[in-house]
Amino acid sequence: DSGVTQTPKHLITATGQRVTLRCSPRSGDLSVYWYQQSLDQGLQFLIQYYNGEERAKGNILERFSAQQFPDLHSELNLSSLELGDSALYFCASSPRTRGQGSKNIQYFGAGTRLSVL
Amino acid sequence: LAKTTQPISMDSYEGQEVNITCSHNNIATNDYITWYQQFPSQGPRFIIQGYKTKVTNEVASLFIPADRKSSTLSLPRVSLSDTAVYYCLVGDYFTMNNNAGNMLTFGGGTRLMVKP
């Protein structure tokens, strides 16, 4: 058990809908990351939050948004869902954000499997 | 972030030692090398991290030569439950335009199949 909790484990919805994925980081971790894993794209970084503020963006669509709350849990909001958004969504956390040359180990949750029908 | 190259797949048998080598020719001076394991439909699990020479923990060993352009993950006496995808990653800090932070770049990984 990594200590990172993601809910729900599975989500089935229809095209055009909006869903919210939730992540609770490991106790004490200030950084939260979201990744998407689909069969054709592999694991891709979406976005990073640190202590409530957006830190870095990756390949995140404009239809997707995220936030980190004062208690450090994070939510990933996916709207206007398309069939291609079906994927596993992982949250990871690390103690803090770090610059180059530092040991920043990210610990991953079990993921949320999103199926868009 | 440095690009990594590792074998697409490997086969082994229970009880054998497995060595997976990863090439990272463009590794930066300050980058650490990190390995993750992933089972189907599960999140990547941190295995080991190192900077140089040899690192060992209860799960694996990581060998890094002096030039740091490659690294080898060694799994002693594998079992069927070690069947998984293994990812080698180098560094995580990036800066691009006004964007800076920590991002793991996963390649295709190595699919290890352990047979009885």
Contact A93, A31 (CB under 8 A): yes
Distances (CA, A) of A8 to A11, A13, A20, A39, B67: 7, 13, 9, 20, 45
Maximum alpha-carbon separation in chain B: 51
pLDDT at A99 over 70: no
pLDDT at A78 over 80: yes
Q: Would you say residue A13 has pLDDT above 60?
A: yes
User: How far apart are the CA of B71 and the nearest CA of chain A, in angstroms?
Assistant: 17
Q: Find, among B86, B102, B78, the residue nearest to B21 by Cα.
A: B86
Residues of A with CB below 8 A from B111's CB? Answer: none
Asked if A100 and B91 come within 8 Å (Cβ–Cβ), the reply is yes
Tens digit of each residue's pLDDT (9 = 90 or more) over B44-102:
999 999 999 999 999 999 999 999 999 999 999 999 999 999 999 988 777 776 777 77
Is a pLDDT exceeding 60 seen at residue A100?
no
Residues A4, B102: C-beta atoms closer than 8 Å = no
Q: Find the closest chain B residue to A95 by CA distance.
A: B102
Q: With beta carbons under 8 A apart, name residues in chain B contacting A21.
A: none
State pLDDT tens for residues B65-77: 999 999 999 999 9
Q: What is the pLDDT of residues A32-68, one digit of tens each?
A: 999 999 987 789 999 999 999 998 888 899 999 999 9
The verdict on A10 touching B (C-beta cutoff 8 Å) is no
A48 touches chain B (CB under 8 A): yes
Measured between beta carbons, the chain B residues lying within 8 angstroms of A42 are: 106-108
User: Percent of chain A having pLDDT more than 90?
Assistant: 79
Residue A75, pLDDT above cutoff 60 = yes
Q: Which pLDDT belongs to residue A41?
A: 76
Residue B115 has pLDDT above 80, yes or no: yes
**Cα–Cα distance list, B105 to B43, B80, B113 (Å):** 15, 27, 23
- What are the tokens at A93? 């956390």
Q: Tell me, what's the pLDDT at A98?
A: 61
